[in-house]
Every structure is written in C-alpha cells, then in structure tokens.
Chain A
Amino acid sequence: DVKVTQSSRYLVKRTGEKVFLECVQDMDHENMFWYRQDPGLGLRLIYFSYDVKMKEKGDIPEGYSVSREKKERFSLILESASTNQTSMYLCASSTELDIQYFGAGTRLSVL
C-alpha cells in the first residue's frame, strides 16, 4: 500500500526558531512536493523536487527551503519561523502518472 509519512502531526514552535518538517515515501517515487493548506486558499505549492538533490520553487517559496539528500526523503525547513507560517503542511509524492499521494499533514503553530 502506498505510504507517505510525515514525522509529526502537530508541532508548536516559537517565533525565530528553525523548524524541520520531514517527509518519507516508500513508493520509490521520483517527484516530491510540499504544500501548505489554509482555509479559503486551498493547497499552495511551496517547493517540489524531481530527483535527489534537485529542487524547484513553487508558488510561495519565501521563508522556506528544502532538502532532498535521498530519494525517499524530502525535508521542508523554516529558517526562522514566523507567526504567518502557522498552517497545515502537506507532503506528497508522485510518479510521471501524476497521481499525487499525500501524507496526513503536519499542523504547525508558531507562537
């Protein structure tokens, strides 16, 4: 069965902290994505990666960076967390067939 695992379901951090969100997929997919989900705004793409060590900016990359050192793992990094980054973060992976498989999400609160 397809599985995308996000390391934390809930996370509370303080303003200015460096935050790491981890995502692991077990399907040997080339493509991985990070989105944030906010009410009324849908899913907005932050970064994506087509291969190991590759990254592409999505629609809202400001304040975020990513790392993909291994095919199965894609990390989202908030260099200095701010309150406007309080959100639900979703990781997804896909093959060329374009079906994206999502993790359950990490709800991040920045205080």
Chain B
Amino acid sequence: QQQVKQSPQSLIVQKGGISIINCAYENTAFDYFPWYQQFPGKGPALLIAIRPDVSEKKEGRFTISFNKSAKQFSLHIMDSQPGDSATYFCAARPEGKLIFGQGTTLQVKP
C-alpha cells in the first residue's frame, strides 16, 4: 500500500516528440504528488507537483495528468529536447515524507 510503481524503466524519444512516464499508487491517503528530475552527477530536483484536487497541472513543456479514481498520474514532456535527458522520479506523500517510484531514464535523441 505504501508503494509507488513507475514505468517505463527507460525511454528513448526523438527530439520534438512527447515523452510520457506513468506512475500508479494504492494508498488513497497520499495527498501530494511531485516529480523530480535528476541529471548525472547531481541530486534530484523538484520539477513539478500536483495535489489530488486537480486533474492536470502544466508548467511550460511539462504537464502532470492525475486520475484520482484510477490512482494513476503521469508526466508528459512536450517537444522533448536533448537537454531533457535525465532520470525522472515520481513520488507520493504520506505523512510528511515522500515515497519514490523506481525511476525512468529518458534519452532524447537529436
């Protein structure tokens, strides 16, 4: 019940394409769903986050879609760029801490 399952493990997208990463959870008490981006040699950094009272949040080329009934949320990267190549982690919050997904390594080919 405390798990967050993330897929795919790796993703290759052509420049200009759409990257989609999916996450699923079971615990309905989770109340905050962030996405973190990690470049090689760096720690993860917050990219975008959503709360369950909205179904979508957009910031520039990055969009979170949230389906509360299905207990799923996803990250969409529009017009993917080589600079977006990184590892992405979804997460969910129960009681002040975060539970992270397994991570997705995204490679955007020029």
User: What residues make up the interface of A, taking CB atoms closer than 8 Å to B?
Assistant: 4, 31, 33, 35, 40-45, 48, 50, 58-59, 90, 92, 98-105
- Chain A CB within 8 A of B43 CB: yes
Contacts of A48 in B (CB 8 A): 97
- Do residues B43 and A99 form an inter-chain contact, with CB atoms below 8 A? no
- Do residues B96 and A31 form an inter-chain contact, with CB atoms below 8 A? yes
> Could you jot down 28 A-B contacts, CB within 8 Å?
A33-B97, A35-B100, A40-B102, A41-B102, A42-B101, A42-B103, A43-B89, A43-B103, A44-B100, A45-B98, A45-B99, A59-B2, A90-B44, A92-B43, A98-B32, A98-B34, A98-B49, A98-B98, A99-B34, A99-B49, A100-B36, A100-B44, A100-B98, A101-B45, A102-B44, A103-B43, A104-B43, A105-B43
6 closest cross-chain pairs (CB), A and B: A102-B43, A43-B100, A42-B102, A42-B100, A42-B103, A102-B44
Which residues from 83 to 110 on chain B have a C-beta closer than 8 Å to any C-beta of chain A? 89, 93, 96-103
Contacts of A99 in B (CB 8 A): 34, 46, 49
Interface contacts (Cβ under 8 Å), in number, total 54
- Chain A CB within 8 A of B42 CB: yes
Q: Please measure, in the bound complex, the distance between the C-alpha atom of A44 and the C-alpha atom of B41, giving whole angstroms.
A: 18
| Main SS at interface, chain B | loop
Q: Please measure, in the bound complex, the distance between the C-alpha atom of A103 and the C-alpha atom of B45, giving whole angstroms.
A: 9
User: What residues make up the interface of B, taking CB atoms closer than 8 Å to A?
Assistant: 2, 6, 9, 32, 34, 36, 41-46, 49, 89, 93, 96-103
Contacts of A58 in B (CB 8 A): 97
Contacts of A41 in B (CB 8 A): 102
CB proximity of A36 to chain B, nearest CB, Å: 11
Q: Please measure, in the bound complex, the distance between the C-alpha atom of A4 and the C-alpha atom of B45, giving whole angstroms.
A: 12
Taking a contact as CB atoms closer than 8 A, the residue among A31, A43, A45 that contacts B44 in the complex is: A43
Contacts of A100 in B (CB 8 A): 36, 44, 46, 98
Taking a contact as CB atoms closer than 8 A, the residue among A40, A45, A90 that contacts B97 in the complex is: A45
Contacts of B89 in A (CB 8 A): 42-43
A33-B97, A98-B34 as given contacts; A40 in contact with B43, CB under 8 Å? no
